Structure formats: structure tokens, C-alpha cells
Structure 1
Amino acid sequence: MAAVLAASTLLPLAISGVAAPAWAQAAKGASGLPLPRFVSLKSKSVNLRVGPSVDYAVSWRYLKPGVPVEIIQEYDNWRRVRDADGTEGWVNQALLSGARTALAAPWMRGKGQGVLVNMRREPQSGATVVARVEPGVMLHIGECTGEWCKAEAQGAEGWIVQTEIWGAYPGEAFK
């Protein structure tokens, strides 16, 4: 029987004639890395600022390490990030990690009882369900195939359809 995982308190290539996904056509930031890209928060307390300097006001404070964010702009050692709720601001790069995390279907939070994301034993739609994950649960991502992501959450491990998470782009593959 599959376990149900509750939400935590956290709140390519272009083949001729076929366009590459948007993330594969990304621009490069000042760091030389692609923009946009997903990263995670490294620290248990991260200030989101209205501008790229400690001279700017703090608009939000994250209190949980591992929260996935999307880097959308770079300036010096500051990164403009967007979270799953669409909140944007600036974070010092030292407070970010390349470790990949994701949130299970955060857009489904509050949609009622029984709205769960299946975590499967294998990356196939007919594979055994090993856990059912509530929207908003934070996942640690080991790899994505472009269609499925291998994830771990609260001791459960398995595969989740890539379009059911926020923290990896549709079609993005990595190990």
C-alpha cells in the first residue's frame, strides 16, 4: 500500500524541424550559466531583497533550506529568483545551492481532499505507486529524463511525472 506524504510546513537538442524547449534556448547570465535555471536555497534563513545589494530592503525571508527557486537574472554576485508562488526578488549567490529540489504540484494546493501526486516505482505510468504526495511537498531530485524525475521525500523514493512538479522544466533531462 502506498504511503501518503503530507506537505511540509513551508510554506536538447533541436532536431531538424523541431524546436528545442525554451530552457534549452536559454541565454547565459554573467556567471556563464544558463538563464533561467533552477537551484535551491542553501541556508535555513534567506533574505529576499528588492534589489541586488544588502542596501536594499528585505521583502521576504525564507526559513527552510532546500526550497526550489528559479534564477531569472544575474547581477554581480546577486541572483534574481522566482519561487513557486511567483514571488520575485534578489538573493546573494552564496545562499543558493546547485542541489535540485522541487515541489509536488504547488498549483494544486488548496484544491480539496484527495488531490495527490503519484510517486511510482519505475518511470512508467503503469508502474506500482509507492507513495501519494500532497501538493506542496518538497522533493529532492536525483535525475530527470525529460518526462519523469526520480525523487525522494520523507523517506519515500520513486518517479514522478515531470509536469507534476515545480523545479524542473518540461523536457529537461539531467543526472
Structure 2
Amino acid sequence: MTPADEILDIVDENDEVVGQATRGEATARGLRHRCVFIEARDAGGRIFVHRRTADKLVFPSHYDMFVGGVVGAGESYDDAALREAEEELGVSGLPRPEPLFTFLYTSAEHSWWSYVYRVRCELPVRPQAEEIAWHTFLTDAELERRLGDWTWVPDGLETYHRLRAMRAGETGSAT
């Protein structure tokens, strides 16, 4: 089975399941589904940053400061966050990612309910070659300096700005 064949829950504006479709169909038709974004930091507090492979279905060759992906049909956000973090970082035995907030991401082409998490990864990473073409860990200041220089995934960039706003206000909500 290819990633495009994966079955996803299709959800409404309230994140209620209204049907199912393959990932390829959801992408092609702009059907709203569910995604997880996990900020992964190493033992020194640096953020895992990577460039997606050129053959990714969405945002190929873009940089991202989150690991994550789609939530499979019937899968919980929490389970998807752990699965995606371990898969993309190439590790096992991560602590369960800590949930932070949700929001509805919408662009002209895409719409998904997004659940944002954070996790500390003190294990040596071996990123998934099918997903990640290049990676490093950056300090917050190093990441900030690259925001205008690299082509970032738009959903990750929006998530990053919401996460920064939440931390600045420490309100516990970014919606």
C-alpha cells in the first residue's frame, strides 16, 4: 500500500467524522481530515528541523520544524503523534508526546484539524529516508534566522507561529 492509499477519516468544521477517503483522494479533493504536529527537541533543547523528500504528496522538498502527519482512520490523535514521531525520527521508546493545542488549518488547497504536541527525544535519531531528505537540530535563535531564507511547509509555519504566540502569552490556548 502506498501513502496515497491510506484510509483517513474525513471530518467537518467541528472535527466530527463525516466519512472516509484515501489520502490521495482527500488531498486531490481538498477534503478536511486530521493531522498531528510534534515539536521534537533533543536533550539540549534544540529543535529537530528537516527537509521533506522530493516525492512527498504534499509540500515536497519543503523544510519543516515539526514531525508528524495524517491521522489514520479510527486512530486517536495521541496514538498518531507517538507513531509519527517514532517513524519520522527513526526511534522507538519515545515518551508519549505532550498535547498542547488544536486548530483548524485551512488554505486554498488544504484543510485539516491539527493537534500540536511536543516531545523530548534524547535518543539518537535515524530519520525515515522515505520522508526526510536532510535533518539537523537547531536552537530557537538559529531556527528564527532561517525562517525567511528557507521554503517552509505552510501548515508547519502557521503552527510554529501559533506555538510561539501561545508560549509568549502562556494562556494555554492558541486558537
Give the TM-score taking structure 2 as reference length: 0.28
The structure that has the greater radius of gyration is: 1
Q: Higher helix fraction: Structure 1 or Structure 2?
A: 2
Higher RCO (C-alpha 8 Å, min separation 6): 2
Q: Higher strand fraction: Structure 1 or Structure 2?
A: 1
